[in-house]
Each structure stands twice: as C-alpha cells, then as structure tokens.
Structure 1
Amino acid sequence: MALAPKFVGQKFASGLSPKTLHTVELYLDYVCPFSKKMFDTVYTKVLPTIESTYASRLQIIFRQQIQPWHPSSTLTHEAGAAVLRLAPDRFFAFSAALFARQTDFFDVSVVHETRNATYKRLAAVAGEVGVDEGALYGLLEVPGKPGEGGALNIGNKVTDDVKVMVKANRLVGVHVTPTVIFNGVVENSISSSMTKEQWEEWLAKNIV
C-alpha cells in the first residue's frame, strides 16, 4: 500500500532503486508486548543488515496499528503522529524510546491521570530523542474549553492524521499485532519471536 508523504517518517529506505524494490510493512501497536518484541529485533538487529545488504532492494514501513481495547493505545499513536509532523526523521528513534517505556503507558499506568497528563509524559519521551517537547505537546493537547460554535468533541491537532492511518489499516483488514505484510500480502511466516539469524535467513530467501 502507498504511504502518504506526510507519514514519510514511518519508512526506512536507504539507496533505493524503484525497479527492484520490495516492501515489508510492520503493523505494530505501541502498547502491545509482541509488537515491542518485533520492533526491538528489527530496529536494533535487522535494520543494519538491510542497510548494508539490501538497501537498494527493500524498504521497511512501520504502520501504526491502534488497538482500541487499550485506550492509551490511541494516545501513544497520536504522539507518533505528532512526531511525524515535527521531526519525521526521529520517528524510529521515538518509537524505540516509547517501546522501551511501554509499560508506563499500559492500562494501570494511565488510569489515574488525565488525558493531557498522559500527553505530557509522551511529549517528554519525544524530547529525549531530540523532538521539540513543547511543540509536540501543543499538537496533542485537548483544550479545556469548547471549540467554535460550542463544539465539545474537538480532538487535537493530529486527529485528522490518525483518521487517515486508521482508514488505511482498515482497507487491508489488519487486526492482530504484530502483522507483517510483504509486497502487499500478509506474511505469516514472520513472527515476533524471530531472531536476527531467522530474519537474515528470510531476507536471503525473499529479497532477490
């Protein structure tokens, strides 16, 4: 599936040749433990291999997959959308930092704080990787007063971006996280438990 230019930070692509380009899409949720496991392996161990060996033949796209039964999932992915607005080149670094603090945003960890308080903590995570913390919070904050015409259900400044992400993911019917799509087709042979060596074996077999 195509990627909107404003979401370019979700893509890891180095020295690409459009004639021989494969695409691996990772559908991940920031508060899913299995998504964290896959991201950690890919980010720290697989991306360097891709950059050194498959740079002209493969691109990786991180698709943000909100799992609504965890309300904080929406808030964390809104933060990801805000990073894409402000500093798309920091998106993968932000994602790594957020996954490292994943349990800080689990249900029990957020239940006693306001939505904007959670946003402030997410902005602090972004600040740790070089994103303007104040600007990011400004995109996430929900005003404490009605909007134009007395509107109450006004969202924040990345609500429309999240709507686009959700619409795109619904088109391909992804439900479970993580889900991997290879060249437009679900790749069930890839799981969160795959090691660096197993990833390298899969890459050698499929990226030709």
Structure 2
Amino acid sequence: MSKPSVWVSLAVGLVLGFVGGRVSRPADAAGGGAEVRGAPSAAKAPGARQRPPVSPTVYKVPVDGSLAAGAEDALVTLVEFSDYECPFCSRGHVTVKQLQQKYGKKLRVVMKHHPLGNHSRARPAALAALAAGEQGKFWEFHDTLFSNARALKDSDLERYARELGLDVERWKKDLADPRLAERIRQDEALAMKVGATGTPAFYVNGRFINGAVPLEVFTGVVDEELGKAEALVKGGVRPTEVYARVMEKGVERPPAPAAPAAQQELPPQKVDVGNAPARGPANAPVTVVAFSDFECPFCSRAVPTLKTLEEEYAGKLRVAFKHQPLPNHPNAKLAAAASLAAHEQGKFWEFHDLLFANQRQLDRASLEGYAKQLGLNEARFKAALDSGKHDAQVTADASEGARVGASATPTFFINGRPVVGALPIDHFRRIIDDELKKSGVAAR
C-alpha cells in the first residue's frame, strides 16, 4: 500500500474511532459529558484535548492472570480493554484477528474487560465469557460475542454456551461467582489508571493505541516493538522475560492535564453530606459529593472513575451520593427512591451499581427484580416505594443541587469545588491532590 493511501485509511479510521466512538465510550481526554436539566444533548468540556491515536509512552499494564491467547515467550504482548456491546470494539476485534494471523507466535493477546455503563448487556456478556473460560472455552465464547454484539440477552448467552458444548449448569453457577465479578472490577480499575477510559483501547508492549484505528497503525507499532524486543533477546534477555523488562521502565498513569480555565472560574460551594449515602471515613480530608441521575448515560460513565479514585485514595476520600433526577428521564425519580429503599436495608451501593449497569431497565418491575437479586426484604422494599416515603429526600437533594448550581448531571463537589460532567480521571486527581496538599496529607 502506498503512503498516501495509508494516511487516507488512517484519517477514515480516526473519524470512525474518535467521532463515532463517542456513543460507545465514556468521557476520556476528549472531554467529559454532562446532561443538562431540560436539555437532551451533551455539553463538552471547554479546552478539552483528544489523546493521540498512538502514544510513544510505555505504560505499566500487567497481565495479572488475565486470559491470554499466545505463548508467554511471545516478543510482543497486546493488551486489549474492550466491551462486547461496543460496535467499535467489534471492529477492533477483526483487526486483532488479522494481527494474530500476521504475527503468529510472535504476538500474545491479553483480554481485559471494560464494560461501559451505557451498555446494559456488556457486563453480563463479560461474565458469561469468563464463566466459559472456567471450562476452557473463553476465546471461543469471546469470538461468538463479538460476532453477535446485538444479541446479548440472557437467553442468547445461554444458547452460545450450549452451542459451544459447555456444561450449562456449571456455567450458570460460575456466572454468579464473585471471583469473576471481581476480575472485571480489577480490569476496570486498571483501565482507568492507565488512561483507557474509552473502548476499545490497546497497549502494545505498553504503548497506547486509541480506538479502532486501521490495521496499518497497529502493524507499525507492533513492528517497532518487535524490533526492540529482538534486540533485548540478542542482549541476553530471555523471551519469557521481555514483557516484564519492558514494563520495568513503564509509567503507571498519563500525566495530569492542566485545568481548563472555565473550570477554574467556577466558585466553590458549601455542600454538606447530610443524610446522603456515603462511603469512606467520615473524617476523610477530601469529600466528593455527587449529584447524579440513574438514567443519565453520562452519570454512568463517571461510576468507574469514582471507584478508581476510592481505591487510589483509600482512607483519604469520602464519596457521597445525592439525587438529581432530570425531568426528561421518566424513570429516574422512581429509581432514586428505590435506591434509598435499598439504603435503609444497607444495600445502597450494591443497588446503585445495578441501576447504572441496567439504565435501560428502570421500570418498577425491574427495580423489584434488583431488590430480589440483592436479597432485600421485598415486602419492605415495595412498601417503601408504594408509600413514597423517600420522595422528600429525592426532592430535597434536587433542590440543594439547584441551589449550588448542579443543573447538569453528573455534577461533583470536591471539598466544595465543582466539577461538571464525566471529565477525565486526571481532572479529579488534580483537584483531590490539591485539597490533600492543603490539609497536609500526602496525595498517594
């Protein structure tokens, strides 16, 4: 292929991978999203920047027991963060298959799961693939899912299990194994840490490739890394040690961006936690209060960001949740009340996670189903919804949100400092680090 045609392909790929991908990936370095009260469209953060398609930086991306296709002594390792419901991930999957065919034993592919909050079937599909892996059929199930990205209902997943000859009863039991859910959670946390906030994201011997870019972009990077790896082997490094040697010089996270001027101009507000559901020490030096809406897709994008921050700043960060159901979301207010009904039974955060994972299924019957799934007292839960006992708190939260300027969702207040939208995680880190510095506490 001539060089002009390569660049034409690259331009097309960037359009598909970046512009089109906004539907299927959470807010990343291209800017956060927020849903404005009474307005259905997203507001992009001013001054936001898009990460380049290929990074020269090497990131530390451990394999950590993730499922891999290829030998441990492969000189190049490609780690993929992907979502089975994301159409751009399906395109990337085709490219990965082409790479495997081209490079054979020289390439190892590692799959890590990054189901996005606005894809309600992505997490069940990931669990189903991992459950198939318990019977040695992960990659067969993985390929089947990408070939059927629009057919990921529970009945579809079970049908694929049967077609692949799995012991279906064992597979169903493994679906509920907390180990598999924890593996996905760890993958998500790693994705946020190394800057893979969108899908698909690839790391070729630690070098970040953003989105479903053309095959030529991948082969260029693989060839470069293959040359470096061969030089290491000639220098005495065992092939099985190449990836570890490369990781030694890697960085753990992207550099924090400068704060957008518009964000700097927003005045701090006094926002009390009050009786809002919260987790983290009550005396933590930094408190994040989120005003959110369970039906808002941008709010779901911020969920893995907050979870990653809670892990990184364990003991130093408290997170509280307040309700701001928007009028254009018909099920948001009922979902908010249902989460408080779960809260009075000690299961707010578990219910919170289920709601964000199933944003398209927030009707009364679905909410009752989630209560049953979590083992709540169903009669008590239904009575709380019937009586409307939690409506006053939802209304009070929304009123407070309006008072402090949280007219869009999600809006966060970090020690009172506003952050509007599902901005990149490093934006949050910068403010948290600044607040910790003020309190005389080491950041991380």
Query: Is TM more than 0.5 here?
Result: yes
Deviation of residue 12 (structure 1)? 1.5
| In 2: Cα distance, 1:139 partner to 1:104 partner | 20
Residues in 1 aligned to 2:300 and 2:415: alpha-carbon distance in whole angstroms: 23
**Is residue 82–residue 140 contact of structure 1 (8 Å, CA) maintained in 2?**
yes
Following superposition, the deviation at residue 29 of structure 1 comes to: 0.7
Task: Measure, in 2, the Cα distance between the counterparts of 1:34 and 1:164.
Answer: 22
Q: Do the aligned partners of 1:37 and 1:193 also contact (CA within 8 Å) in 2?
A: no
Q: TM-score, with normalisation over the residues of structure 1?
A: 0.70
Counterpart-to-counterpart distance in 1, 2:294 and 2:417: 23
Q: Does the alignment pair 1:12 with 2:276?
A: no
CA RMSD after TM alignment: 2.3
2:291 to 11, 27, 30: 27
What does the per-residue CA deviation read over 1:75-110, in whole Å, with 9 as the maximum and x for residues that have no partner? 1111122122232xx2111111111111123xxxxx
Pick closer, same or farther for the CA change 1:205–1:63 going to 2, 3 Å: same
Match of 1:203 in 2: 432
Deviations 1:102-140, CA, capped at 9 Å, x for gaps = 1123xxxxxxxxxxxx32321221332343233111111
CA distance in 1, matches of 2:396, 2:319: 19
% identity of equivalent residues = 22
Aligned partner of 1:3 among 273, 279, 286: 273
Q: Hey, what's the Cα distance between the residues in 1 that align with 2:410 and 2:291?
A: 5
- 1:101 maps to 358
Q: State how far apart, in whole Å, the 1-side matches of 2:427 and 2:396 are.
A: 33
The CA deviation at 1:176 is 0.7
Contact 1:119–1:137 at 8 Å: present in 2 too? no
- The verdict on how the C-alpha distance between 1:101 and 1:205 changes in structure 2, with shifts beyond 3 A counting, is same
Counterparts of residues 47-196 of structure 1 (less than 5 Å): 47-51=310-314, 55=315, 57-87=316-346, 90-105=347-362, 118-141=363-386, 156-188=388-420, 191-195=421-425
> What letter matches 1:180 in structure 2?
F
SS at match of 1:103: coil
Q: Mark the runs of 5 or more structure 2 residues left unpaired by the alignment.
A: 1-270, 438-444
For the pair shown, which has the larger CA radius of gyration, 1 or 2? 2
1:156-195 deviation per Cα after TM superposition (whole angstroms, max 9, x unaligned): 222222232223223213111111112223135xx42424
**Quick one: distance in 1 between partners of 2:297 and 2:335?**
14
Displacement, 1:33?
0.5
Shift of 1:200: 4.3
The answer as to whether partners of 2:324 and 2:394 remain within 8 angstroms in 1 is no
Do 1:123 and 1:134's aligned partners in 2 also have CA atoms closer than 8 Å? no
> CA distance change for structure 1 residues 131 and 41 in 2, over 3 Å: closer, same or farther?
farther
Q: Aligned pair in 2 of structure 1 residues 205, 64: CA closer, same or farther (>3 Å)?
A: same
Which one has more relative contact order, counting CA pairs under 8 Å at least 6 apart?
A: 1
Match of 1:145 in 2: none
Cα distance change on mapping 1:193 and 1:174 into 2, 3 Å: closer
Following superposition, which runs of at least 4 residues in structure 1 exceed 3 angstroms of deviation? 197-206
Q: CA deviation at 1:202?
A: 4.8
CA displacement at 1:198 relative to structure 2? 5.8
Specify the SS of the correspondent of 2:413. strand
State the SS of the aligned residue for 1:2: coil
Query: Aligned to 2:327, what secondary structure does the other structure show?
Result: coil
- Compared with structure 1, are the counterparts of its residues 183 and 202 closer, same or farther at alpha carbon in structure 2 (3 Å cutoff)? closer
Structure number with the higher helix fraction is 1
> 2: CA distance between counterparts of 1:198 and 1:179?
13
**In 1: Cα distance, 2:379 partner to 2:287 partner:** 34
